[in-house]
Amino acid sequence: MQLVLLAAGRGIRLGLDISNKCFTKICGKCLLDYNLEMFSCFDVSEIILIVGHNAENIQKYVGTNYNGISVTYVIQHELLGIAHALKVAIPYIHEDFMMCLSDELFINPNMEDMRDFFLTDKVDCLCGVVKDSTENIKKAYTMDISETGEVLQLIEKPSQVFNQWKGTGCCLMKQTMLPILAELHPNKTRNEYEMGDWIQLAVNMGLICKIYPVADKNFNINTQQDIIAAEEYLQNV
């Protein structure tokens, strides 16, 4: 299984003196290290790092080999969304893969169980979710789920919350998800190729997408307030 880790973000909203968003430190450790270490339990065949802004800094930091795993770099020249990043990486993906965002921090991640479920269940896409407050769910995305656990509808920044599940950027996918990217159009509001639109299109086309509790909690790090909240949480668990 390949790991596709998105790390092209600039982190402008953070207002920090860092070259790349993934170098943001939480309790003394950068987000990139948290995410790479999180998958150390996996039998990862290759790490695909999608980079953009100041790509050379990440290439120098990680190198071409991480703990015995080959690292391949893919340049996303235009930051046009998560789905666009995967579209750029298609030529390098040749097996089932896990997608993760380097600006997310997971508390007590449950990656091994999620992987095992993915490998044994008939599913094209397994979306990692965490239980969270209505307030936080409204800032992210949620899903309407059938009685059998399949995703019926995915809603970005919902005004109405269906359940306690907040979607994350961590997903396990089969290669069947990749051809759908050719049918995806940019979001009219942001002119970006959104992950939510990609998964919803997959559902509409008959692919099976389900959810799985990926961690006790997660933080999407976009502002200094997010850093403070994450550090306060880690210091009190």
List, for residues 114-137, the tens digit of each pLDDT value.
999 999 998 999 999 999 999 888
> What's 73-97 look like in SS3?
EEECCCCCCHHHHHHHHHHHCCCCE
5 burial class (0-12, 13-18, 19+ CB within 10 angstroms)? buried
pLDDT in tens, 69-118: 999 999 999 989 999 999 999 999 999 999 999 999 999 999 999 999 99
Please say whether the dihedral angle defined by the alpha carbons of residues 33, 34, 36 and 37, taken in this order, is positive or negative: positive
pLDDT at 236: 87
Q: Which residues pair with 155 in a beta bridge?
A: 142
Please tell me the distance from the alpha carbon of residue 123 to that of residue 17, in angstroms, as a whole number.
42
pLDDT tens, N- to C-terminus, the chain (237 residues): 999 999 998 767 776 667 788 999 999 999 999 999 998 777 899 999 999 988 999 999 999 999 999 999 999 999 899 999 999 999 999 999 999 999 999 999 999 999 999 999 989 999 999 999 998 888 888 888 998 889 998 888 888 888 899 999 999 999 999 999 999 999 888 889 999 999 999 999 999 999 999 999 999 998 899 999 999 999 987
Please tell me the distance from the alpha carbon of residue 185 to that of residue 194, in angstroms, as a whole number.
9
Give the residue extent of every domain in the chain.
2-235
Rounded to 5 degrees, φ, ψ at 87 are: -60, -40
Please tell me the distance from the alpha carbon of residue 91 to that of residue 76, in angstroms, as a whole number.
13
- Could you say which of 3.30.460.80, 3.30.230.10, 3.90.550.10, 3.40.50.2000 is the CATH number of the domain covering 2-235? 3.90.550.10
What is the maximal distance between C-alpha atoms in the chain?
48
